[in-house]
């Protein structure tokens, strides 16, 4: 025979708090299963070990008694802050009702009917002393314990138009902040004056003027330098120059142009210069050399000067332009006052296509490659470096692989600058018998495609049709390889005359 345990009688349902009758197994309101209610334990809750006993609660605040409910069984309005004695955070007495000093027996609450939802209560006078409130009206609270008579109440001032009772002239209650329906919008601050015409504007804030040091006078943002990446394209030549990934500035420079010979046939020019980083102001040296060489060629070729002689004269003019930079000490100090000053220096390589000829000239270790349009034909390097490695190979002391693997391989033995022993321009003329592409570049590119075969593999197949895109691809090839140096390359597509004009790359 099983024994059943009687469930304890519960006064209210654990689920909905409704009263229960004795013997109910389910709540009549929510259906709660009362048989599942566990019996109340007889022991006391376990106290946590090493937990200090709680401090006795502080004496509760003796608030004045709240008013009784009205006939609608809705609680009367709550107390106002001014109905309780005390001081504010500044030590001043809290304000009371706006009718004058408070009576000694304590504050008197103004009671009235409960306003409907969304409406404001209408202020009204309080009950007169000694008068019994009518039925349904709120009765005044009993005074709480007050230490003594309170000082006179200071009325709250919402704004300049508020009355002592907190009302405006139109009967509406004043707001602590301006009414957004009537307040005018704050006018926007005046815009910064536009920079004067011709002034360089910041690329970040689009409003500040850029100072001579390359920083915005408004937001201080450093401006990208124009020479960090340069591109130029003409009808028959294109060039791209990039700062690379390791250098803080671009010390390369180039110049591309086209002109006409006395017979009206076109002549295309590409000059590429590489500043010597160990010299002072290498960026200025390369820019001056490229500009001087290009201007000289544009003057000499239309006069009928032979392209090879014109190239020689252009290199000499470039050397003189670089030498002139060393004769301006004021500019040198302004450029970098805390660096050891020496003569600016750079290398130069150039190419001219005119009258079926391909003329190249150079001083230093920048190079020219010939890449035939038909890649089955051999690719050729048309220049010889003025470098330690080239001298070792020419003397037979090392093979090319050993020489360029040496740490001294890129030490140049020829350059343009005031401290050069003697400028010896190298020039050569060729008459290709097939179309191809002339690649004029600095060592920032050929370091990643040194041999002629590697350069041919890096040149896009359609570079002779789209030279700018081909130059961009070659610069990207150097950047993908590490970009340790500035990278500059110019591409000149070469179109031949009818067959029988000579053999490929025959030196004149």
Output the DSSP codes for 331-399.
Answer: HHHHH-TTS-----EEEEEEEEEETTEEEEEEESS-EEEEEESSTTSPPEE-----BHHHHHHHTTSS-
Task: Give backbone dihedrals phi and psi of 209, rounded to 5 degrees, phi first.
Answer: -85, 140
Which pLDDT score is estimated for 93? 61
**Looking at the DSSP assignment, which residues form a beta bridge with residue 436?**
372, 494
Query: Do 293 and 319 meet the contact criterion of CB atoms below 8 Å apart?
Result: no
Q: How many CB atoms lie within 10 A of CB 442?
A: 29
Please give the Cα distance from 428 to 309 (Å, whole number): 10
Which pLDDT band holds residue 238 (cuts at 50, 70, 90)? very high
* Per-residue pLDDT reduced to its tens digit, 57-94: 555 444 444 444 444 444 444 444 444 455 555 666 65
Which pLDDT band holds residue 298 (cuts at 50, 70, 90)? very high
Task: Work out the mean pLDDT of the chain and round it to a whole number.
Answer: 75
Which pLDDT band holds residue 125 (cuts at 50, 70, 90)? low
Task: Report helix, strand or coil for 262.
Answer: coil
- Whole-model pTM? 0.58
Residues of the chain with pLDDT > 90: what percent? 44
135 or 391: which leads in pLDDT: 391
pLDDT at 171 over 60: no
The token duo for 426 is 């190298």
Which pLDDT band holds residue 95 (cuts at 50, 70, 90)? low
239 or 75: which leads in pLDDT: 239
The token duo for 250 is 């671009």
Please give the Cα distance from 381 to 430 (Å, whole number): 12
Which pLDDT band holds residue 485 (cuts at 50, 70, 90)? very high
Task: Give backbone dihedrals phi and psi of 205, rounded to 5 degrees, phi first.
Answer: -95, -10
Query: Do 113 and 70 meet the contact criterion of CB atoms below 8 Å apart?
Result: yes
Please give the Cα distance from 470 to 441 (Å, whole number): 13
* Per-residue pLDDT reduced to its tens digit, 33-59: 777 655 554 444 444 444 455 555 555
Which pLDDT score is estimated for 86? 53
* Per-residue DSSP letter, 209: B
Query: Do 358 and 429 meet the contact criterion of CB atoms below 8 Å apart?
Result: yes
Kind and range of the H or E run holding 204: none
39 or 3: which leads in pLDDT: 39
Please give the Cα distance from 266 to 352 (Å, whole number): 10
pLDDT at 269 over 60: yes
> How distant, in Å, are the alpha carbons of 217, 286, 378, 383, 432 from that of 356?
53, 29, 20, 19, 8
> How distant, in Å, are the alpha carbons of 46, 55, 57, 58, 496 from that of 52?
14, 9, 15, 17, 102
First to last CA, the chain: 127
Kind and range of the H or E run holding 403: helix 400-405
Query: Do 469 and 476 meet the contact criterion of CB atoms below 8 Å apart?
Result: no
Q: How many CB atoms lie within 10 A of CB 430?
A: 22
Please give the Cα distance from 494 to 501 (Å, whole number): 14
202 or 315: which leads in pLDDT: 315
Q: Among all chains, which residue has been given the structure tokens 């003019």?
A: 317
DSSP secondary structure letters along 42-83: SSPPPPPTTPPPPPPPPPPP-PPPPPPP-TTSPPPPPPPGGG
Question: How big is the CA angle at 167 (ends 163 and 168), to the nearest 5 degrees?
Answer: 85
Mean per-residue pLDDT for 115-122? 47
Convert 281-331 into a string of H (helix), E (strand) and C (coil). Answer: CHHHHHHHHHHHHHHHHHHHHHHCCCHHHHHHHHHHHHHHHHHHHHCCHHH
What angle in degrees, to the nearest 10, is found between the helix axes of 282-300 and 307-326? 150
Q: How many CB atoms lie within 10 A of CB 339?
A: 11
Which pLDDT band holds residue 352 (cuts at 50, 70, 90)? very high
Query: Do 358 and 494 meet the contact criterion of CB atoms below 8 Å apart?
Result: yes
Query: Do 202 and 223 meet the contact criterion of CB atoms below 8 Å apart?
Result: yes
- Cα diameter, the chain: 133
Residues of the chain with pLDDT > 70: what percent? 61
Q: Among all chains, which residue has been given the structure tokens 């008579």?
A: 149
Which pLDDT band holds residue 245 (cuts at 50, 70, 90)? very high
Alpha-carbon torsion 402, 407, 413, 416, what sign? positive
pLDDT at 15 over 80: no
* Per-residue DSSP letter, 504: T
The token duo for 30 is 């929510």
Please give the Cα distance from 351 to 368 (Å, whole number): 8
* Per-residue pLDDT reduced to its tens digit, 338-348: 455 789 999 99
Tell me which range, 81-95, 295-309, 388-402, 492-506, is most confidently predicted by mean pLDDT: 295-309
């Amino acid at each position: 025979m099983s024994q059943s345990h009687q469930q304890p009688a519960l006064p209210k349902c654990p689920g909905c708090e409704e009263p229960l009758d004795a013997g109910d197994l389910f709540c009549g309101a929510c259906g709660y299963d009362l048989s599942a209610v566990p019996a109340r334990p007889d022991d006391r809750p376990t106290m946590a070990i090493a937990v200090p006993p709680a401090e006795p609660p502080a004496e509760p605040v003796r608030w004045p008694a709240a008013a009784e409910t009205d006939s609608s069984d809705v609680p009367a309005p709550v107390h106002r802050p001014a109905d309780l004695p005390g001081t504010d955070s500044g030590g001043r007495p809290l304000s009371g009702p706006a009718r004058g000093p408070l009576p000694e027996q304590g504050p008197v609450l103004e009671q009235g009917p409960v306003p409907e939802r969304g409406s404001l209560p209408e202020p009204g006078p309080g009950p007169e002393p000694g008068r019994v409130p009518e039925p349904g009206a709120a009765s005044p609270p009993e005074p709480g314990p007050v230490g003594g008579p309170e000082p006179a109440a200071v009325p709250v001032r919402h704004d300049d138009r508020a009355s002592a009772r907190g009302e405006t002239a139109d009967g509406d209650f004043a707001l602590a902040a301006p009414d957004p329906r009537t307040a005018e919008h704050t006018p926007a601050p005046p815009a910064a004056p536009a920079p004067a015409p011709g002034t360089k504007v910041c690329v970040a804030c689009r409003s500040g003027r850029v100072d001579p040091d390359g920083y915005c006078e408004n937001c201080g943002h450093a401006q990208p330098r124009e020479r960090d990446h340069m591109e130029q394209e003409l009808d028959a030549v294109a060039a791209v120059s990039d700062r690379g990934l390791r250098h803080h500035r671009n010390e390369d420079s180039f110049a591309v142009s086209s002109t006409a010979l006395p017979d009206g046939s076109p002549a295309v020019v590409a000059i590429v210069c590489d500043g010597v980083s160990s010299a002072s102001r290498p960026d200025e040296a390369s820019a001056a050399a490229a500009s001087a060489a290009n201007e000289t060629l544009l003057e000499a070729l239309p006069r009928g000067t032979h392209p090879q002689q014109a190239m020689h004269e252009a290199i000499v003019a470039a050397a003189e332009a670089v030498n002139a930079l060393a004769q301006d000490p004021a500019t040198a100090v302004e450029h970098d006052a805390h660096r050891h000053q020496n003569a600016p220096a750079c290398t130069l390589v150039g190419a001219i296509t005119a009258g079926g000829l391909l003329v190249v000239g150079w001083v230093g270790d920048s190079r020219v490659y010939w890449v035939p349009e038909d890649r089955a034909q051999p690719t050729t390097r048309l220049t010889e470096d003025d470098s330690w490695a080239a001298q070792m190979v020419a003397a037979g002391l090392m093979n090319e692989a050993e020489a360029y693997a040496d740490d001294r391989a890129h030490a140049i033995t020829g350059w343009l600058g005031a401290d050069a022993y003697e400028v010896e321009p190298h020039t050569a003329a060729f008459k290709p018998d097939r179309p191809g592409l002339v690649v004029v570049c600095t060592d920032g590119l050929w370091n990643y495609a040194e041999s002629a075969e590697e350069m041919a593999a890096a040149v896009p197949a359609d570079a002779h049709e789209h030279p700018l895109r081909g130059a961009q691809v070659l610069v990207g090839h150097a950047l993908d390889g590490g970009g340790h140096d500035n990278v500059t390359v110019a591409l000149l597509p070469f179109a031949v005359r009818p067959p029988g004009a000579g053999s490929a790359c025959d030196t004149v």
